[in-house]
Each structure stands twice: as structure tokens, then as C-alpha cells.
Amino acid sequence: MRKIFVFVERVDGEAHPVSWELLGKARELANNLEESEVWAIVLGKECENVCKEAISRGADKVLYVKNDQLVEYVNYKYKKVLVDIVRKYEPEIFLIGATLEGRELAGMVATELETGLTADCTGLDILPDKKLLAMTRPTFGGNLMATIMCPEHRPQMATVRPGVMRELPPDPNRKGEVIVEEYSIPEMEKFIEILEAVPLSVKSNLAYAPVVVAGGKGVGGPEGFEKLRELANLLGGEIGASRAAVKAGWISDEYQVGQTGKTIHPVLYIACGISGAIQHVVGIKESEIIVAINTDENAPIFDVADIGIVGDLHAVVPAITSKLKAMKGEVRK
Amino acid sequence: MNVVVLIKQVPDTTNVRIDRKTNNLVREGVPSVINPDCMHALELAAQLKEKHNATVYVITMGPPQAINALKDAISFGLDEAVLLSDRAFAGADTLATTYTLYKGIKKIEEKIGKIDIVLAGRQAADGDTGQVGPGVATRLGYSLAAYVTSIEKIEKDEIILTRRLDRGYEKVRVKIPCVLTVTPELNEPRYASLPNLIRSLRYQPIVWNKDDINADPKKAGFFGSPTRVVNTNIPPARKGGDIISKNESPEIAAQKLLDELKKFESIRLIEGLRVLVGDKK
């Protein structure tokens, strides 16, 4: 049996959404790769619910390394466990979410195993004739897509950008097996020790919002984002920002969209005062509908927008908000 | 205290353009710069030199032109710069890159003694992999703290610092020797002082080839790389629609937008827009 490993990243008792996206993708890969199965790798304790959900999301087997020392992500311990289980079970493919933790961990694990690792992939496929994993990733700030393979070394490792693959809806009737791995962590030097975890002061739902109203340089300052926030709230969405707005310090980098921020695919993306540099567009081009509002009619954002409005966002955005409010008021009457 | 900074010379990606007629990357005339994240590692190194009297070496792997990046790095007031350059290093993926850098660090160690801290930027602007720091840490058997945002204190055998993870920030104690990768949040890179600038202009970096660092050619460059780039292509441009309103009153522009949105079936998925299609829910 060819094993496709998916690392399930946990935040406390819950899996990071990218883990389910990866399971969905792994399921699709397994369907194209004869005699293969999808294994979810769960580290920690009291993760029974996560294991169960992994099966409902597409895993055939869950390898549950149950250990008190693995409750929190500590890079050198996680690396040791993953290296050891890869050596024991010899998977063909190993997928990890390209979160900050995932990228750090994958870089350590792949080096220790001396295998290839393709970072931050946005596409994965099986080449039917060679039974190899084709990993596609943007480079040069999103200007170029490169497809990469790892022909001889195993496992073929990739980190995958959150928000790109589509998760499967959970199916409680799916059958799978949870293997509880007896594993004791050897005595090791204490390389790194967590003293304090500081949660983010703002938490955005950017990657998963159906509507994103985003602002760039044209927003002009932190207060400008209030207008965008009002429209986003009315539409049940979230606000976003270009790198320029984040760099100017107008908004937290939690909201940054694009190559160095988040990749999103909302139903509706409204770009306000965003010029549309390629690094930004690469993060939004999978949106269903892109609307651009900009005073500069030559801004490159209009090349990709489905609907373009040349005008001042400070006037147009509030006008949209009030029109929608008025319409809703009428419906209620 | 001995410190090595890993840097990379990259094309200034903000200047890379696509010629849509030929569908090629236009790299001509695109200047090379020190990778932006690496600037913050250099700044930290300069501070370690000032406050902890560190001996700092800068190292990069690349073609002879990368000497320019090293000269610029020296303008931070650092001690020496090393270029690892050999045809055997070309075509390296991250695994082979970390091998060569590791061998280079070991060679520096022969000259100045045990390396306490290795610094790198979070990621390179052209590759964006962020894997070299973790890879080098693993090869050296050092502690690793990626994405450092602030440093509280540095003692003889440990560093207390804060780093960024997806879920938030994490204050950690890191054992020395260690590898740190740094984020732009950490500091503001300095402007070179005049004496340092003059020194950097005259400075000639040390150049080492595969024999100098005793590198196994089977582990370096193309032959040491497990991954192969099999295809590159320019992603198709998303086809945009029309500009529906140009410098009209905000009310007219807003109305036109809402009318236009009605033509998209998918807006039914947005609760806040169902009102447009007469859905009263």
C-alpha cells in the first residue's frame, strides 16, 4: 500500500482548517494513485475528536501519537516524532500545511530525512504514467508558476498554502481506523522552551469569508478602513488589506492579502484603492467576482476586475453601503 | 560570541514584469538586491557586534556577482564576508543549498571557533520557501527559532525571544548554539556610517570553492538536489471585465455596481446580497 501522510496541525483541541483541506486533496490524489491510502497524523493528547473528524474528512487511517509532551507544538520534539514515524511507515507522500509552524517543521523534517521538499504549493497532482507527485508553486513573487517533482527520494514532501485546496464536507458514515502509536519521546536536550503564548489581539476570518472588502494605499489611513468595515459587516464579510496598507501601519498584518499575506477565494472581492500589483493579484485571482474601485483608471487592478469603477472609494463605498441598507429597509417593510 | 549571517542576493521582484505579448518574464534591467528579510538579520548581527562584541561573518552561496551583496552587507560594520561559489553548487534546491551553507559555516568555525548564533531572514523574496534556516539548524544540530519578532535578552547559553506563529506570538527560551530566522518586525535596518561605507567599497570578500569547504559534489548543487523543476509557466491572466462607471456621482456608481452584481448567479451565496435578487430571507 502506498501511504499518503497528512500532518494534522492542531490549535488546542481543534485542527487548523488547512489540515482538512489537505485531507480533501490527499483523498483526490489517492483516487488517482493505485493501491494507496490516506493517513492522517495526529500528535498530542485528548485528540480523539480530531481523529474521528479526520476520518470523516477523508482519512483511511489515523496515526495518533498520543503523548503528554506533544500537547503544544515544540519544534524539535515534533520533528523527532515525525522523522521516526516516517522511517517506520515509509510513506510515499507527506503533506503539511504551509502555516508558519508547518513550514518550520517541514523544513526540519525533510532535511533530517534528506528528501526533497516543495514549499507553499498551490497545486498537487499525480502524474499517471510515472505515479509521481507533481507539485506546483508560485515563485518570483507570483510571476511564475513552477512545477516540481521529487523523482527518487521518499517521501515526496510538500507544504501547501492554506485556503487553496477545498476540504470535503465531513461524512460521519466514512469508515477508517485509528492507530494509537505507542511512542515515548527519548531524553533530549531542551533546545527550545515555551515561556508564554500570546494570542493575536485581532483575529480575522479573512481566509474563509464569503465577501472581502479590501483597502490599499488609497484608503489613506486607519480611519479609512472603518468605511470598508461597515460594508463588509453589512455583507457578512471581512476586511482585507494590501501590503502597502499594512506596511503603512494602518491595519494589522492579519488582514494582508497576497503573496506575502493570505491567499483567498471569496465569492466577492471588492478592492478599494488597491493598485493591483502582481503580488496582490496572486492572492485574489481565484475569487468568483472581483470589483475594483480606484481613482486611477490605469491601475492594473482593472485588468483583472470583473467590474470596475473609476471613482473615489471614500465616496463610493459609503454610497454602496447606504443603498444596500435602504434596499434592506424596503424589503423589511 | 561568534555569529554567522546567511544572506541571499535576489532580483528585486517588485520590478519583475510580464511581457504579455511574449508571455515572458522581463528580467532585463531588474537590479539585484540583498533579500529584504536578510537586511533585518544583518541589522541584528550589527547589534550583536556592538552590544556583545560578537565576531560576525556573512556568508552567501551564488555566482561571482553575489560579491556585490556581500560588500553591501559589510557596510553594516561586520567583520568578514564569504562567497561560496563553484559550478558544483549551481542548480541547488533547498536541501543542497543547506548542505553547502553548512559546509561553509563549518569552515568558518575552523577559523574562528564554535559558532554560537546563525542568523537568516525569514524567507527569500524570489523563492519564498523559508526552508533554509530550518534546514541549516537541522544540519548543525542547533536549536531553531524561526520568525523572531523581538529579542528580550541574550545570555551566555540562552536567548529569550518572541516569535510569530500563525496562532499568535510565543515567548521562548532558546538554547545557544542556535539558528534564528528573523521577520521585518524585529528591527529597522540602519544606514551605513561613512567609515563603514568606505570600507565596504574597498572590501574584497573571501571566496571559497567546493574544495575549500570540502564539499561532496554529490550532495551539493544539481546532483545533490532531490527535487527537479520540470516545468515553469506564466500563469494565465485573469480576464477582467469593463469599467462600468467613470467619475460619476457616488450614488450612480453604487447603483450601477449593484445592477451589475445582479448578473452574477453566485451572489445568491452571499446573504447580504440576496436582497438584490428579491430573496427576502
Kindly give the confidence (pLDDT) of every residue in chain A, 333 residues in length, as a single tens digit, with 9 standing for 90 and above. Answer: 999 999 999 987 889 999 999 999 999 999 999 999 999 999 999 999 999 999 999 999 999 999 999 999 999 999 999 999 999 999 999 999 999 999 999 999 999 999 999 999 999 999 878 799 999 998 776 678 899 999 999 999 999 988 889 899 999 999 999 999 989 999 999 999 999 998 887 777 887 788 999 999 999 999 999 999 999 999 989 999 999 999 999 999 889 998 878 888 899 999 999 999 888 998 898 888 999 999 999 999 999 999 999 999 999 999 999 999 998 886 665
Residue A169 pLDDT: 94
Smallest Cβ–Cβ distance between B232 and the set A144, A305, A306 belongs to A144
Give the SS3 label for residue A130.
coil
Q: What is the CATH class of A2-181?
A: alpha beta
Query: Tell me, what CATH number does B142's domain have?
Result: 3.40.50.620
Q: Return the residue matching grid coordinates 483575529.
A: A203
Provide the 10 A C-beta neighbour count for residue A152: 11
| Helix segments in chain A, DSSP class H | 17-31, 48-56, 75-89, 100-113, 224-234, 243-247, 278-281, 301-304, 313-332
Candidates A204, A307, A312, A324, partner chain B, best to mutate (most B CBs within 10 A): A307
Backbone φ and ψ of B30, nearest 5°:
-80, 120
Contact with chain B for residue A144, Cβ under 8 A? yes
Q: CB burial class (10 A; 0-12, 13-18, 19+) of residue A67?
A: middle
CA dist., res. A150 & res. A320, Å (int): 50
Domain count, chain B: 2
Residue B281 pLDDT: 45
Residues 159-188 of A with CB under 8 A from B: none
Q: Return the residue matching grid coordinates 450601477.
A: B256
Contact with chain B for residue A14, Cβ under 8 A? no
Contact with chain B for residue A312, Cβ under 8 A? yes
Q: A119 vs B133: CB contact, 8 Å cut-off?
A: no
Which whole-number Å values give the CA distances from A311 to A31, B242, B248, B260, in the listed order? 49, 14, 7, 16
Cβ contacts of B117 on chain A, cutoff 8 Å: none
Cβ contacts of B13 on chain A, cutoff 8 Å: 140-141, 143, 279
Identify the CATH number of the domain defined by range A206-332: 3.40.50.1220
Inside any domain, residue B74: yes
C-alpha cell at A221: 489611513
For residues B116 and B71, membership in a common domain is answered with: yes
| Residue A16 region by backbone torsions, left for phi larger than 0, else alpha for psi between -120 and 50, else beta | beta
Residue of A nearest to B132 (CA): A107
Cα angle A205, A211, A213; round to 5? 90
For residues B264 and B178, membership in a common domain is answered with: no
Smallest Cβ–Cβ distance between A311 and the set B16, B226, B247 belongs to B247
Cα angle A179, A61, A100; round to 5? 95
Residue B22 pLDDT: 64
Peptide bond preceding A199 in cis form (omega within 30 of 0): no
CA dist., res. B8 & res. A186, Å (int): 36
Which residues fall within 8 angstroms of residue A55, CB to CB, at 6 or more apart?
A: A40, A62, A174, A175, A176, A178
For residues B172 and B275, membership in a common domain is answered with: no
For residues B251 and B126, membership in a common domain is answered with: no
The C-alpha of A241 sits at a distance from chain B's nearest C-alpha, in angstroms, of 18
Identify whether the C-beta of residue A240 lies closer than 8 Å to the C-beta of residue A216: no
* Domain boundaries of chain A, sorted by first residue: 2-181, 206-332
Inside any domain, residue B21: yes
| Residue B174 region by backbone torsions, left for phi larger than 0, else alpha for psi between -120 and 50, else beta | beta
Strands A144-149 and A132-139: antiparallel
Residues of chain B below pLDDT 70 = 13-28, 279-281
Residue of B nearest to A117 (CA): B227
The C-alpha of B198 sits at a distance from chain A's nearest C-alpha, in angstroms, of 31
**Is A206-332 in the same CATH topology as A2-181?**
yes
For residues B134 and B257, membership in a common domain is answered with: no
Residue of A nearest to B145 (CA): A192
Q: A267 vs B226: CB contact, 8 Å cut-off?
A: no
Cβ contacts of B241 on chain A, cutoff 8 Å: 305-308
Strand arrangement, sheet containing A61-66: A117-121, A156-160, A93-97, A2-7, A36-44, A61-66, A177-181
Smallest Cβ–Cβ distance between B257 and the set A196, A282, A291 belongs to A291
Q: B130 vs A103: CB contact, 8 Å cut-off?
A: yes
Inside any domain, residue B250: yes
Inside any domain, residue B187: yes
Smallest Cβ–Cβ distance between B144 and the set A108, A119, A134 belongs to A108
CA dist., res. B166 & res. A100, Å (int): 6
For residues B206 and B246, membership in a common domain is answered with: no
For residues B213 and B273, membership in a common domain is answered with: no
Cβ contacts of A141 on chain B, cutoff 8 Å: 13-14, 16, 125-126, 128
Cβ contacts of A329 on chain B, cutoff 8 Å: none
Amino acid code (one letter) for B48: L
CA dist., res. A275 & res. A51, Å (int): 44
Residue B208 pLDDT: 98
Contact with chain B for residue A74, Cβ under 8 A? no
Provide the 10 A C-beta neighbour count for residue B141: 9
Cβ contacts of A318 on chain B, cutoff 8 Å: 250
Smallest Cβ–Cβ distance between B168 and the set A138, A139, A198 belongs to A198
Residue of B nearest to A143 (CA): B234
Peptide bond preceding A210 in cis form (omega within 30 of 0): no
Smallest Cβ–Cβ distance between B226 and the set A100, A152, A319 belongs to A152
Smallest Cβ–Cβ distance between B98 and the set A111, A147, A307 belongs to A111
Inside any domain, residue B229: no
Smallest Cβ–Cβ distance between B95 and the set A114, A142, A285 belongs to A114
For residues B257 and B217, membership in a common domain is answered with: no
Inside any domain, residue B235: no
Inside any domain, residue B237: no
For residues B165 and B67, membership in a common domain is answered with: yes
For residues B214 and B257, membership in a common domain is answered with: no
Euclidean distance between the first and the last CA atom of chain B, given in angstroms as a whole number: 67
CA dist., res. B26 & res. B10, Å (int): 15
Amino acid code (one letter) for A205: N
Q: B128 vs A291: CB contact, 8 Å cut-off?
A: no
Residue of A nearest to B269 (CA): A267
Which whole-number Å values give the CA distances from A316 to A244, A257, A280, in the listed order? 21, 22, 22
Smallest Cβ–Cβ distance between A310 and the set B234, B246, B269 belongs to B246
Q: CB burial class (10 A; 0-12, 13-18, 19+) of residue B119?
A: buried
Q: Return the residue matching grid coordinates 503528554.
A: A68
Domain that holds residue B140: 2-224
Count of A–B CB contacts within 8 Å? 285
Which residues in A287-317 are b (16+ Cβ under 10 Å) and which e?
Answer: bbbbbbbbeeeebbbbbbbbbbbbbbbbebb
Q: A143 vs B16: CB contact, 8 Å cut-off?
A: yes
Q: A107 vs B147: CB contact, 8 Å cut-off?
A: no
